[in-house]
Amino acid sequence: MDVLYKIEKDLEDFSRLHGTFCIGEVPDIGSMIMILDDLVQSGKKCVPDTFEAVARACRTYVKNITLEKISHTKPIEETLVLMKAILNHMKRGVDFTFETSDVMELLSVSVLKEDEDVEVLESEETFAEDPGAQNEASKLPETGNSTEHIPDALEKEYPPPERLSDDDMEILVDFVSEAEDNLDSIEVSLIELEQDPSDVEIINNIFRPFHTIKGVSGFLSLKKINQLSHTTENLLDSARSGDILIDHSATDAILESVDMLKKLIQRVKQGIEKGFGPDDHDIDAEGLSKQLEKLHRKLTEGDKSLLGEILVEKGVIDEASLEESLVEQKVSRSKKIGEILVEKKNVPPEEIQTALAEQKTFKKQVDAQVKVSTQKLDDLVDYAGELVIAQSMLRQQAAGDSSLSQSVEQLGQIVTKMQTIAMSMRMIPIRATFMKMIRLVRDLSQKSGKKVELRMSGEDTEIDRNVVDALYEPMVHMIRNSVDHGIEKSEQRIDSGKSRKGNIFLRAYHKGGQIIIEIEDDGKGLDKDRIREKAISTGLINEDDKLTDSQIYNLILEPGFSTAQQITDVSGRGVGMDVVKDGIEKFRGHLNIDSNSGKGTLFTISLPLTLAIIDGMLVRVGDDKYVIPTTAIQRAFKPDQKNCFTVEDKGEIIKERDTLIPLLRIKNMFEEQEDKTPPWESLVIVVESKNEQKGILIDELLGKDEYVIKSLGGNLKSVKGIAGGAILADGKVGLILDIQGLFNLVSTTQ
């Protein structure tokens, strides 16, 4: 115990030193080495030699800093974390069975070969990299048949999950959210990889997230996640270096691993909610790991080394010596084909290097990203807007002073730019949602036995992130419907002269300030007669109702409507399209259905670009200014006196082009005061909601603009007839009218 205490103290000192350390400060390095010496000594007394090895490697690294051979301190940071993790494990008396090779690699990367310490280190590294040994160690608790690791065997009595400390909790929460993102991105890349299995860049895109998950889960003692991601990573690593080719079976296996990891991470999440470590004893990650390893082996043996092929092509070696080396590689599996070739003096190392470089000619994607909470983004948008207002006030004050107004103009340009950027930060490409659909279609087509291909366009269309989230569910429903009801079985398709494979098109584009998303299939289309029949039988319509085609199609959006003759796993429970419709309308969107019998169905979703901004018309009524959403406005006109009529001297109507339009007076409704201006002296704006038209009397049209919708705050969230507030150009708050709410007011109070 004393040793552990000493290690802990030393580590604390070390991290303090490292925290304030700058390259070139020799005295600091001196003290660091002294501490590391102590740590190595203490490490010798500890049971697993991992700690000693790590400390030793770190010391060598720090020494090299002194000799000015290296100038990075990042590896030291990583080592510190690793050492602390090992210490934690030792304290608990549990074996540390996680990867240390990453850190070791970092530490040894620029260290010169002649140093003794490095060799110790390298042997350690190969041990850790050997997947077999790795597994043996982490498998023990489950199998419990080892005689050497008695304490581990006792763990078969699954201990209850540990209670989490606040610090752990925070790290775990971060890990979960990051891992979820990572897994999603893996899924997408995997499907891309299926199309082009040799694309190293895609393999890298898959490899990196697995690597991250493996690394972090190791430090967090999430054994199963660590182990599974490790085996998967190994497989991908081989693919990355060109030793194997990811084929269909490999993709399936990796997808399975992704699903399993998702399950495990879900457990971690559940654990966090209860404040405990994950309880995942019932999930068997072991089997899948083994399966992955087996596959790995099979692929390595079955495939010729791609690196070898490159070399043969270049004429550096001949087929025979390649074969020979491949045989040798089978014997000593840990070595790479390149290493064997160099050892046998068949190829000069430089040639291997160039061949390797050729193999890895992928562009590195450099898109550094920062995660920011949406709250902060919203605040930024708010402040940017406020800046615009402050700047316009400043401009008014600066009028007359030419040099000052010039500066204000300059400021104005910056402010405008800043506002545009702030607004655009809320927008993200719809790609991520589309990509999820690929996986969905893949699974669905496997389940239903239909061959379906998803074709996408406009994945880079940018859309407000809240809308993106809201779109996911409706899209899933619609695609399910298309696969299940729309696309026919292969035989049927060939009979009707279509291609064997069904197609689903997914398109996104901007049109007139709206985002349009189309989901089209080339299946059998909607069956008008069946929909009609069904609607009559459920009492939705009467037998003698005359409906247009589009009205019939729209019937499938009614709750509880499903024409599927049999309920399948995929869809057909009669919940669906009405949910889709509600989901879209909640975001001020619109769903349209078009179908051509025998040719296919087209669903069109139109949504506002962003939920935060509306196009509005600013109007003046008396002294008050209101914003009317342009989508509701039909037209505006000045009525003739002869077209104005009253009902019982109270209700007012206007006759316009043979239609009677009831009039609303905002003042009467809102302020309970009598507004008696005759209609022919003011303007009428005709607004529509739910196929109902009414005219609103206003005094003046002030202009059209985009307005950021804001909640009225506090307790004023549900004022009838008001949708929210908007900051006007003069800095005052204007009220946005809720047309439907206004109509409801009239229908209840008058």
Partner 1 sequence: MNDTTESMGQAIRRMTIKEGKYLTFMLAKETYGVGILKVKEIIGMMPVTSVPRTPNFIKGVINLRGKVIPIIDLRLKFSMESIPYDDRTCIIVVEIDSDESTVLIGIVVDSVSEVLNIKSEEIEETPTFGSKLDTAYILGMAKMDGGVKILLDIDKVLSTTEIQLLEKSGG
- CA-nearest of 527, 512, 531 to 601 is 527
Task: Rule CB under 8 A: choose which of 472, 710, 740, 744 binds partner 1.
Answer: 710
- Contact code string over 618-657 relative to partner 1, x by CB under 8 A: ------x---------------------------------
283, two tokens: 């999930």
381-420 as b/e: b if 16+ CB within 10 A: beebbebbbebeeeeeebeeeeeebeebeebbeebeeebe
Nearer to partner 1, 703 or 731 (CB): 731
Q: C-beta of 628: minimal distance to partner 1 in Å?
A: 15
Rule CB under 8 A: say whether 718 interacts with partner 1: yes
**Nearest CA-CA partner of 213 in 232, 191, 238, 190:** 232
Q: Which residues of 547-579 are buried (b: 16+ CB within 10 A; e: fewer)?
A: eeeeebbbbbbeeebbbeeeeeebbbebebbbe
Query: Shortest distance, CB of residue 718 to partner 1, whole angstroms?
Result: 8
Distance CA 1, CA 191 (A): 51
Interface pick for partner 1 out of 727, 740, 744, 746 (rule CB under 8 A): 727
Residue length of the chain: 750
Of residues 159, 635, 733, 750, which one binds partner 1 by CB under 8 A?
733
Q: Which of 428, 540, 719, 746 binds partner 1 (CB under 8 A)?
A: 719
Where does residue 66 rank: exposed (0-12), middle (13-18), buried (19+ CB within 10 A)? middle
Binding mask 384-423 for partner 1 (x = CB under 8 A): -xx-------------------------------------
Least Cβ distance, residue 614 to partner 1 (angstroms): 15
Check residue 669 for interaction with partner 1 (CB under 8 A).
yes
Nearest distance, CB of residue 422 and partner 1, angstroms: 11
DSSP letters of 16-58? HHHHT--TT-HHHHHHHHHHHHHHHHHHHTSSSTHHHHHHHHH
The residue range among 327-335, 381-389, 516-524, 650-658 that interacts with partner 1, by the rule CB under 8 A, is 381-389
Compute how many residues bind partner 1; rule: CB under 8 A.
Answer: 29
Q: Which is nearer to partner 1, 92 or 717 (CB)?
A: 717
721 binds partner 1 (CB under 8 A): yes
Cα distances from 103 to residues 77, 175, 605, in angstroms, run: 10, 19, 50
d(CA 476, CA 489): 20
Q: How far is CA 437 from CA 453, 454, 475, 567, in A?
A: 11, 8, 8, 22
DSSP calls for 125-144: HHHHH-HHHHHHHHHHHHH-
Q: Does 712 bind partner 1 (CB under 8 A)?
A: yes
Smallest gap from Cβ 735 to partner 1, in A, equals: 7
Binding residues among 454-513 for partner 1 as defined by CB under 8 A = none
Smallest distance, partner 1 to C-beta of residue 394, A = 15
Nearer to partner 1, 458 or 725 (CB): 725
Question: Residue 168 interacts with partner 1 (CB under 8 A)?
Answer: no
3-state class of 454 per DSSP? strand
Query: Using the rule CB under 8 A, which residue among 253, 306, 725, 738 binds partner 1?
Result: 725
Question: Would you say 600 or 724 has its CB closer to partner 1?
Answer: 724
Residue 223 CA to residue 488 CA, distance in Å, equals: 45
Query: For partner 1, which stretch binds (CB under 8 A), given 190-198, 516-524, 648-656, 710-718?
Result: 710-718
By CB under 8 A, name the binding residues for partner 1. Answer: 381-383, 385-386, 624, 669-671, 710-716, 718-722, 724-725, 727, 731-735
